[in-house]
Structure 1
Amino acid sequence: MHSLFSRRQWLASSLSGLALAAAGSSAVQAQTGPRVLRIGHQKGWLSILKGRGTLEKQLAPLGVSVTWTEFNAGPVQLEALNVGSIDFGDVGEAPPIFAQAAGAPLVYAGATVPRPQLEAIIVPKGSPIKTVADLKGKRVAYNKGSNVQYFLVKLLQKHGLQYNDVQSVFLAPPDARAAFERGAIDAWIIWDPFLAAAQKTLDAQLLVNASGVVNNRGYYFTSRDFATKNVDVLRIAIREINAIDTWVAANKPAAAAELSKVLGLDTSITELYLSRAAFGTAPVTREILAEQQQIADTFFELKLIPKKLNLLHAAPVNLS
């Protein structure tokens, strides 16, 4: 179990940002030579899309081929996008803010439906922590710059606490799991499938999930240049990802079995994960950008990013 999580270290601090720019969105620019969609991915739903080969079949009539590169960590994946070696990948809702603050030329291609039950605060069995108020002064571990950091901020605010009322311990999932096991932290904020694995294998107790606090969307990103020239390709990619989502929602037992093979996890863990998941992927809207703007504003107020951002200055491209 630990070796799996070591391979699946999640996003650290700099990832993607912005919405698809409107300029050039109405038509695909002329291409010089064969087109290629270079996808970077970590183990998960994009791995299943790769295995099925449906995206390649849909893009073939356009003369577009697809390449896949698997990454073991988010920062490497996004660095690859920045240097132009991949065109497309996936990310959560908070890390893009840090990338935009750093001036990364990255744009959103699609967004999932809200998935608040997929991240939560867990405590060891028998912990005296029974409510969010009990977290005051406690050692709370989470991945810095990730979705769960934003979740913590908004959760504390909802319960009348300040961000600094807890002792933040910045740990990647493998290290946080180890600290949780040996009692070096009081609580751990984590997402699925790490969350389900901790519940199943460590008897971790769920204190509260993100329902009613944050949306916890997932995003698919691309580069500004690729988005401008390949709207038709992105439209098909998002459609095929949503087709996987639709299948999973209707076939959770089979999906859990397939995902367990991809992740190297026991099926009981992926079954728990999928039992509380919501599925659906679509193009980004201005309403979704407004959610991202709230995250950016919150991080600026906490001085987690160096400048105030404006994510609403350009309308997202129309992929419908």
Structure 2
Amino acid sequence: MKKKLIVMLVLSFILTACGGKTEDANNKVRIGIIRVPNDKTVAISMNYFKEYFNDKGFETEFIFFDSGVAANQAFSSGSIDFAEMGHTNGVVALANNLPVKLIWIHEVLGSNEALVVKEGSNIQSIKDLEGKKIATTFSSTSHLSLLKALEKEGIDKKVELLDMQTAEIVAAWERGDIQAAYSWEPGLSKLKESGSVLIDSEMLANDGIVTANIDLVHTNFIEKHPELVVDYIKTLDKAVSLYKNKPAKAIDGASKQLGLSVEDTKTQMQGTVWLNADQQLSKDYLGTSKQPGHFHTVFYQTGEFLKAQGNISEIPTMEAIHEFIDSSFIEKALGQ
């Protein structure tokens, strides 16, 4: 029921928005964020957005979203210009014809998302989860990873899945309502305090099940300010460069920005793969405007998963995916 509700909510926002357009609210660029230490967090902490936007007369406003569902609702109502989310919600955006394009991969997920089981539960393998209650956030990258792991062992129909937001997962875990959960940081670290990891997204990526956080931009913003979209890419690429060349400085900045310890921030950042602009354009990821990369296939396969789960009504075609994933702004940022 909740799966259908997610789709209905997105559709209702589309209908009420009537093709709502983004407006320059006092020359503000409205950017959706999630509470993870990634390139965007580093860019904010280092004032890179101010560096690129203020001189052109634009201020940046950062708006927190706890889920990609909420970010998609904001896109459909025209109340946001950019937002990051798990790539599964990017597929939902495309399937529901939201006026957005994918322009960047923030990080390929790894050990920062994992399936954790309670200590003392006698669960030693994924097969041992049969008959157990497992929490995750539906339509998320964790949901995709969890189901793929369960399918691989043939028990995806033999467990009870519960749809919860990250804070709810931690609370249910502490109450003893669930025996396992697939979630992400920072809640993941709370689960690990009294649990152990069965499998994580890095292990699944090694088996070809790739998940990632991505960034979308509203098409109306593209039409009005294409040059600012290029600057946005430069900002993120500069943050990636800082992390690769001066990791301690980037970690410290993200730590202060999120109010996390340096050690926790370091653990989370090292649990993902960061891609610079050149790597984004490689055949393994977004590819170029002329030669789409492997991530286009990942997007299609995720559409198959979401369709099977009832989260979308139609699987986006490869042609639609090629149109949706726009590498041109990265190319322009690199002077290509």
TM-score with structure 1 setting the length: 0.79
Q: CA 1:262–1:54 in structure 2 vs 1: closer, same or farther (change >3 Å)?
A: closer
Q: CA 1:167–1:135 in structure 2 vs 1: closer, same or farther (change >3 Å)?
A: same
> In 2, are the aligned partners of 1:197 and 1:269 still within 8 Å (CA)?
no
Q: CA 1:187–1:88 in structure 2 vs 1: closer, same or farther (change >3 Å)?
A: same
Q: Name the residue aligned to 2:31.
A: 39
SS in 2 for 1:94: helix
Higher relative contact order (CA 8 A, sep 6+): 1
Shift of 1:275: 3.0
- Unaligned ranges ≥5, structure 1: 1-11, 17-31
SS in 1 for 2:79: coil
Shift of 1:13: 4.5
Shift of 1:234: 1.6
Q: CA 1:207–1:168 in structure 2 vs 1: closer, same or farther (change >3 Å)?
A: same
Shift of 1:60: 5.3
Give the AA of the match of 1:263. L
1:123 aligns with 2:123: no
For residues 74-153 of structure 1, the aligned pairs below 5 Å read 74=67, 75-153=69-147
1:189 aligns with 2:182: yes
> In 2, are the aligned partners of 1:113 and 1:281 still within 8 Å (CA)?
no
SS in 2 for 1:103: coil
Q: CA 1:251–1:193 in structure 2 vs 1: closer, same or farther (change >3 Å)?
A: farther
Q: Name the residue aligned to 1:25.
A: none
CA distance in 2, matches of 1:40, 1:304: 22
> In 1, are the aligned partners of 2:300 and 2:317 still within 8 Å (CA)?
yes
Greater displacement, 162-171 / 132-141: 162-171
Identify, as 1 or 2, the structure richer in helix. Answer: 2
> In 2, are the aligned partners of 1:249 and 1:278 still within 8 Å (CA)?
no
Shift of 1:122: 0.5
- Unaligned ranges ≥5, structure 2: 11-23, 281-285, 332-336
SS in 1 for 2:194: coil
Q: Name the residue aligned to 1:5.
A: none
1:55 aligns with 2:49: yes
Residue 196 of structure 2 is aligned with which of 186, 199, 205? Answer: 205
1:249 aligns with 2:244: yes
RMSD: 2.8
Q: Name the residue aligned to 1:300.
A: 307
Shift of 1:100: 2.9
CA distance in 2, matches of 1:207, 1:190: 12
Give the AA of the match of 2:63. E
Give the AA of the match of 1:99. A
CA distance in 2, matches of 1:158, 1:169: 20
> In 2, are the aligned partners of 1:39 and 1:66 still within 8 Å (CA)?
no
1:234 aligns with 2:234: no
CA distance in 1, matches of 2:63, 2:247: 24
CA distance in 1, matches of 2:250, 2:190: 17
1:280 aligns with 2:280: no
> In 2, are the aligned partners of 1:289 and 1:312 still within 8 Å (CA)?
no
1:312 aligns with 2:307: no
For residues 255-274 of structure 1, the aligned pairs below 5 Å read 255-274=250-269
Shift of 1:97: 2.2
> In 1, are the aligned partners of 2:123 and 2:129 still within 8 Å (CA)?
yes
Q: Name the residue aligned to 1:6.
A: none
> In 2, are the aligned partners of 1:81 and 1:87 still within 8 Å (CA)?
yes
**Quick one: percent identity of the two aligned structures?**
20
CA distance in 1, matches of 2:141, 2:47: 30
SS in 1 for 2:30: strand
SS in 2 for 1:109: strand
CA distance in 1, matches of 2:109, 2:66: 22
Per-residue CA shift, 1:21-43, capped at 9, x if unaligned?
Answer: xxxxxxxxxxx9x9653323234
Greater displacement, 98-107 / 291-300: 98-107
Shift of 1:309: 2.0
CA distance in 2, matches of 1:256, 1:76: 28
CA distance in 2, matches of 1:124, 1:257: 32
CA distance in 2, matches of 1:249, 1:13: 37
CA distance in 1, matches of 2:32, 2:306: 27
